[in-house]
Amino acid sequence: MKLFICVLAALCVHSTFGQSFYKSSNKEEFKSLMENGLFFIKTDDSARNEAFITALNENWDITEVTIIDPSDESVKLSGDEIFLIEGNFYDDGGNVLGLLPFNLLESGEISKYSMIGFIATNGYDQEEDKTTMFQYLDLTISGLNNVVKVIKDNEIKKIGIALYKGIYKALLPESKALKGRTLLIVGETIDYVSKDALAMEDIKFKEVSVEGYARMKEAGELDKYCLLYFAFNTFTEISIYDLKNNDLIYSRHFANGKRKLLRSDIHAMKKSWE
């Protein structure tokens, strides 16, 4: 079967950003991911392929990864395989990486609810420039990997708010990695955080531009930092990544859109690692 897939899918959903997961451990899509592994299809962009394959090799370990060449007519797929896709919310340009069954990808019947989950790539620095997505590709794939692992290891079977609460509780022990570390806040993300509240809670932080982050990454200077991810739209997602190993160590979901992290939110975050 010759594969014909629009890898950069126009996701027909309303505007929703953040780190969103819709399938728990007892859902067929999740079981398929665990049994068959993750699939990724190459494009004719060799630089893109290399970036994705490197990021997958270094940051995805919960399952095996199968790389597919679309020109290989001998490839046979059942339709249940779960693909890593790069998508776009057509109504406002939000780029995401998500986990989607092949049969829906092939048919074009795509919605946010048909995915196991996705992470919007604008949450790291609030930029919509697609080229910056690759700057955080390692974190995004690691974040997907970490959440899938949490759902599997804790056998989380609920969905909706209960699923997010399960992810939050399971990650709390990991958040201790931030204690005594410096929180890196990239680009315009600082506009959504009260700097006074960070200071009052005695949380060390450093503001850095998008270009500054790229320079620090190139120079290998990120290991001593953690990074704040903030995504706001119809809901708000706060995540923290340990830049020493790219692990997701904190994830809190607000069902209602929260436009700014205030002292009460930051205090609750700090208590998790005390």
pTM: 0.89
- In this predicted model, what pLDDT tens digit does every residue of 134-158 receive, in sequence order? 999 999 999 999 999 999 998 888 8
Helix 161-171 vs helix 137-153: crossing angle, to nearest 10: 100
List, in order of start, the domains of the chain with CATH numbers: 8-153 (no CATH), 161-271 (3.40.50)
3 state DSSP class of 221: coil
Strand bridging mode 247-254 / 38-41: unpaired
Task: Indicate the residue type of 14.
Answer: H
Q: What is the DSSP letter of 5?
A: -
Please write the tens of the pLDDT for every residue from 232-265. Answer: 766 788 899 999 999 999 998 887 767 888 898 8
Contact 206, 98 (CB under 8 A): no
